[in-house]
Amino acid sequence: MTTNQAFYDAFARGDAGAIEAMWARRAPVACVHPGWDALHGRDEVVASWRSILSGSSGASVRCSRPSAYVLGDSAYVVCGETIQGSELVATNLFVREDGEWKLVFHQAGPVHRRTERKVRTSGGGMLN
C-alpha cells in the first residue's frame, strides 16, 4: 500500500506536516507509540508526532515486510520498523476518506524474539 510507504517516507524526512496530513479528519483516531499510553483524538495524536519530529532532520526509520489487507473502505498494514537500530513491529489502520487512504490508528512496539525450542523425542513422544 503506497500510503503506508508514504507515512514512513515522511517519518524518515521528519516531515510533521506530511504526517499530520495523513491522519483522518472525520474518523476517530488513536496512536500508541512504543512505551507510551494510548493517545486518542486527532489533536493529541498529531501533537505527539510533532513532538517526536521536532528539531529532527529525520530519523533513521525503515519499514520492512509490509503485509496489507484491504477490507472495503478500511485497510491495515502489519510491518516491521527499524528505528535507530531498534526493531519494532507495527500496525497501521487506514480508512478511505474523500477517496484517499487516511491513518486512523498506528501502534508500534518492540519485537520479542522467541527462542526456537528443540524438538526432542522421549519414550516415543515429541516434546516441544
What is the fold of 2-127?
Nuclear Transport Factor 2; Chain: A, (3.10.450)
Q: What is the mean pLDDT of residues 80-91?
A: 93
Which of 81, 91, 78 lies closest to 60 in space, CA to CA?
A: 81
- Exposure b/e, 46-56, CB count within 10 A at least 16 = b: bebbeeebeee
**pLDDT of 71 over the 60 cut:** yes
- pTM equals 0.84
From 26-30, 57-61, 118-122, the region with the lowest mean pLDDT: 118-122
DSSP notation for 73-126: TEEEEEEEEEETTEEEEEEEEEEEETTEEEEEEEEEEE--PPPPPPPEEETTEE
Give the angle 87-92-96 at the CA atoms, nearest 5°: 160
99-115 tens-digit pLDDT = 999 999 999 999 987 65
Write down the domain spans for the chain.
Answer: 2-127
DSSP strand pairing (61-71 vs 39-40): unpaired
Write down the residue that cell numbers 507509540 correspond to.
33
**pLDDT of 120 over the 50 cut:** no
Q: What is the mean pLDDT of residues 94-100?
A: 97
Percent of the chain at pLDDT exceeding 70 = 84
- At residue 58, the pLDDT reads 61
From 50-54, 70-74, 114-118, the region with the lowest mean pLDDT: 114-118
CA distance 60 to 71: 31
